[in-house]
Amino acid sequence: MLEEELRRINQDFYSRRIDRTEQTIDLEESLSKEVGWGCYENQYQGFQLATNLVNIDWDSTNISILDIGCGYGALARYLREKKGFQGKYTGIDILATFSEKASELQGNDNRNNFISGDALSYNWKNSKYDFVVSLGTLSVNYDYPEPYGKESLEFAFKLVNLICQLSCRYACLYYPNEKNSPLIQRMTSTDMAFYDPGDIEKMFKEVTSGNYKKLITKSYPTADNVKTITSICFEK
């Protein structure tokens, strides 16, 4: 799938969410909904789980984090305020409106860097990060308006491959869990993709050839919830 097509699908997906979002006095609540989270609490819980699954010294200035599909940069704020993160944060989003807003909201901290572009085609050169996260990119149905299927699975595989290439310690990937999703949700949320956790874990195992220490999948806030994160650890 070409970058222009990826951008169009993402633009349409998030435009629908922005159009459905009622502006409230609570800016965090509105921004969370615009980038695809049902509410700020859902977004916060995702950040909390992803960061609790890794063993990182947040106080170290030598730590680097890459956030693929960074939206408005809320993870950067969470890391600084809740984890006391002192290292380098890089966020990339295929939608310039998101990355530009992220720079406006979080760019006053020179440890934060925001990129507008497609992570899959971006020239990462020899970049490596201690922690690579993607907490929303796989929510988009890349087969739309058809049901999620071949294109979405191919995109997921490429994304898993990329985050494993760029990570030297940990990576976390969020996706809607097909097994925990009621049929009515999948039928009505036609622009979303849902994944079998077993398929996602197979992708991680394939692209790493089994060279990892630990692979964990957790749904939240309860084990039967659709919101799911798979985390991989490369440290021996």
How many percent of the chain have pLDDT more than 90? 69
pLDDT digits (tens, 9 = 90+) for 94-153: 989 889 999 999 878 999 999 999 999 999 999 999 999 999 899 999 999 899 999 999
- CA 146/CA 185 separation, integer angstroms: 16
Q: Provide the domain limits for residue 72.
A: 3-233
Taking the CA of residue 4 as centre, how many other CA atoms within 13 Å lie in the half-sphere pointing to its CB?
Answer: 0
If one counts the domains in the chain, the total is 1
pLDDT digits (tens, 9 = 90+) for 15-56: 877 776 666 556 677 676 666 666 777 788 999 999 999 999
Q: Are 172 and 230 in contact (CB under 8 A)?
A: yes
Q: What residues form DSSP beta bridges with 219?
A: 228
Locus of tokens 């890089």: 90
Which residues neighbour 227 within 8 Å (Cβ) at sequence distance 6 or greater?
Answer: 42, 45, 46, 174, 176, 177, 219, 220, 221
How many percent of the chain have pLDDT more than 70? 92
pLDDT digits (tens, 9 = 90+) for 41-94: 778 899 999 999 999 999 999 999 999 999 889 999 999 999 999 999 999 999
- CATH number, domain with residue 120: 3.40.50.150
- CA 189/CA 144 separation, integer angstroms: 11
How many other C-beta atoms lie within 10 A of the C-beta of residue 11? 14
- CA 72/CA 100 separation, integer angstroms: 8
Q: Are 173 and 136 in contact (CB under 8 A)?
A: no
pLDDT digits (tens, 9 = 90+) for 157-188: 999 999 999 999 999 999 999 999 999 988 88
- CA distances to 52, 80, 135, 169, 170 from 55, rounded to whole Å, are 7, 16, 18, 9, 9
Supply the pTM of this predicted model: 0.92
Query: For residue 143, what pLDDT is reported?
Result: 93
**Dihedrals φ, ψ of 172, to 5°?**
-130, 135
